[in-house]
A and B are shown apart, each in its own frame.
Chain A
């Protein structure tokens, strides 16, 4: 039987932890038991005019209580995410998950690892930081306002970069790595495409392994519709073309197997 399920999740708590950034704890039946860091959930809006599920990465997993935490950005007025931000404790949300492959923690066990997050790509790095047994350095990139950075302190050395220079290194995550003379053998990263592209190059220069979590507009979320593909370097065995499915084959890929 598949570990993917569609469940009605109950809201435990919700808080705005930054401008338009919300933290949502959800009670699951089985989803939390199967979930792994770097996987995502697809949330249905419950609004018949907004049909497609919203893929949101998993920020934390509490197996004991069978709960999952999502940290997401409200993308605008009248959006599905705005609807989620109004959910109150006790209310429910139809959800499909856990979806995707997640970060391969075993590839980084005991090594020097960068956990790199950019903007709304930061949340999935938190559970990754919690579960990974390694020498961890979290490098978090923000536009201006910080969120979640203090929660990484328990699990990793934390370095911050802000575009406006209001905290940490002025610039991006690579600027923070260079300014602080940081080094690693393995990279796990999630964030905007320009950041992932820069990390892919950085990893190739340094000859280190880099796993990146990618994003694309999705429909089914389970690999059937072929909406969310990315370019693969080699011909993919499933598609027979240079396309991989982000929702099913990913969202985490080895940086050398995809073109950005």
Chain B
């Protein structure tokens, strides 16, 4: 039996497969299809200090081998989240990673502080959502701002923090270094790529928000390249994501330097994707005589 366990900032995952924030709710809906016990971790949809209504509809549209979304971080707020979503996830033997969003540094810190005493394993700080007017990506496109918010959040966080990086920057390694300098424990990338689709018959935007975040298999080569670049530039563990739909896709990210991976859009076209990928990685390891998944991390130099 080969070893699939990986460690992120001292937190051991039974396998490297996690969910990507925003695509999996807090797991309840997908638990009707997959056994959450078989996942390395569940990354929740972003949660803020208060409920957010999100953007007007339409919020999603399909693009070639991908999609655009502009949900706008609709979430029920941290109170209900702690009462309902965390206890739900606690029933399962999987790591709980809470994605945290906010409009200001204080918002982020408030949620992080609130989660300090909750049975949560890791916090993912969403400083890269392209679909909200305040907060989100505003912190994730400027290295000084990113370093500053990372430092602030670290003051309040009891759990290790993951800074989630935006690909909508000129040089993602600068952002990775800024997060590292600010004290991030882990990096996750990539968030979605800002895109646009126009409905030529209605002569308007396909999304009410005009722009949306692009995800799905179409973005995978960009994501693999960025994971590789960041792995070369910093020493922090990386959670790789962007278009992962198969075990082979996941292994590309791992070989590019990711310690763990997140499966996002694939859940929408295959609700079993997460578990199938975890099982596929094991099969690959057996076929290729890989004893330990850690031997594959960053194997491509």
Q: Interface of A with B (CB < 8 Å)?
A: 2, 4, 6, 44, 48-53, 96, 216-230, 238-243, 248
Contacts and interface: CB of A to CB of B under 8 A. Distances in A.
A217 B57 CA distance: 8
B268 A241 contact: no
Interface residues on B, range: 35 or more
B266 to A, nearest CB: 8
Given A48-B217, A52-B60, A218-B60, A224 B29 contact: yes
Given A49-B64, A220-B267, A226 B51 contact: no
Interface in B61-94: 61-62, 64-67, 69, 71, 74, 76-77, 80
A227 B66 contact: no
B195 to A, nearest CB: 15
B32 interface: yes
A51 B245 CA distance: 11
A228 B67 CA distance: 14
Contacts of A220: 23, 29, 267-268, 271
Given A243-B54, A248-B29, A217 B61 contact: yes
* Overall SS of chain B's interface: loop
B29 A228 contact: no
Contact of A2 (B32, B51, B60): B32
A219 B272 CA distance: 15
Contact of A217 (B30, B59, B77): B59
Given A224-B23, A224-B29, A240 B67 contact: no
B53 A219 contact: no
Contact of A6 (B22, B33, B58, B71): B33
15 contacts: A48-B65, A49-B65, A51-B216, A52-B269, A216-B58, A217-B60, A220-B29, A220-B271, A224-B267, A226-B45, A226-B54, A229-B57, A229-B74, A240-B76, A243-B53
B71 A242 contact: no
B24 interface: yes
Given A240-B76, A242-B53, 7 more contacts: A6-B33, A6-B271, A51-B268, A217-B57, A227-B71, A229-B74, A240-B80
Interface centre among A96, A230, A241 (most CB of B within 10 A): A241
A103 B300 CA distance: 55
B65 A51 contact: yes
A126 B59 CA distance: 30
B298 interface: no
B205 interface: no
B159 interface: no
Nearest to B269: A51
Given A227-B60, A229-B54, A241-B52, A219 B268 contact: yes
Given A44-B269, A96-B271, A223 B29 contact: yes
Contacts of A219: 60, 67, 69, 268
A221 B23 CA distance: 11
